[in-house]
Amino acid sequence: MPTRKRARACEEVKSESVAEVKSESVAGVKSQSVAEEVAVATKHSSKSRKKQAAASPVSAVGTTTGPFPTHRAPSEVEARAVHHALSLLHPEVTEELSKPKAEEGGCGSRHLVLDALVGTILSQNTTDVQSHRSFCALKQAFPTWEMVRTSPAAAIEQVIKSCGLAETKTARVQAILNLLHEERGECSLEHLREVPDEEVKRVLGSYKGVGAKTISCVLMFCLKRFDFPVDTHVWKIALALGWVPKAATRDQTYEHLNAKVPDEIKYALHVLLVKHGKVYKNDVRVLRETLRHCEAGATEAGARDEHFRGEEKGQASLSPLLASEPTAIKKEVTAALG
């Protein structure tokens, strides 16, 4: 009797082992299948991120970090599609971006890091035209930052009053200059060119009145790093497109999109979104219509290819899929916005 029990026990163990092996085998096949699908879907972006990580101090783009780790949008495909649609809507921006750039008055677009920082501070809550005018007036009245540091606040405020909030901006600029003088013995931030992005963010973020958008502008426009500034226009459009949750703040939107948008289109996409926001007052109806038009055009191209392949095989022709231009809704929205 004991012998039969041992035999039965051995058979049960053997059956369980076989079942486990089969289960693990099936799970392994499923895991391998999923892994292969993911690998194919992310092949392009993975290669791109590896190259960017090797060529710059910026870390690889994350997909599960940031303020909204479970919010999938925008995918790389979505970001590139919006970039393409905006390029069609605003070809003058794409053309301008392709030209060699001299130093200009835009947010952060100055050669010296301290110039870029001060210029961006002056641009807060005002237009590019007004902030550029104030910056030029400041540099003309006080040629060196040491002179700005040691001059009476009232004199500085008078010079930059056209950009608004002159008292607040003067106090912040002079506080930064005084801190630089104490810590480094000179009014300069050129040492930031040699440090990683996170250190740049730490240093600039320690100054009062310097937030994520200002830091990002300095990083992207001046230091030529892969960063994605989020101003009011970018924020509002991102909310409208569902790229971030409805309750997302501007800083949260920056953190999320900076990790999602492919590095090589960050500069152009930022400029295009700002342009679109100004022209259409952050309305995305024309943009959505253009995206649909582009998608239909891609479908038409695919159908045309299939049609030619069908003709070669003697199959019936496919009816052409024609997409309408987004002209009507573009005129409608433009008229509504005045």
- Residues designated catalytic: 213
Q: How distant, in Å, are the alpha carbons of 32, 98, 198, 338 from that of 101?
A: 49, 9, 27, 33
Find, among 253, 237, 209, the residue nearest to 120 by Cα.
209
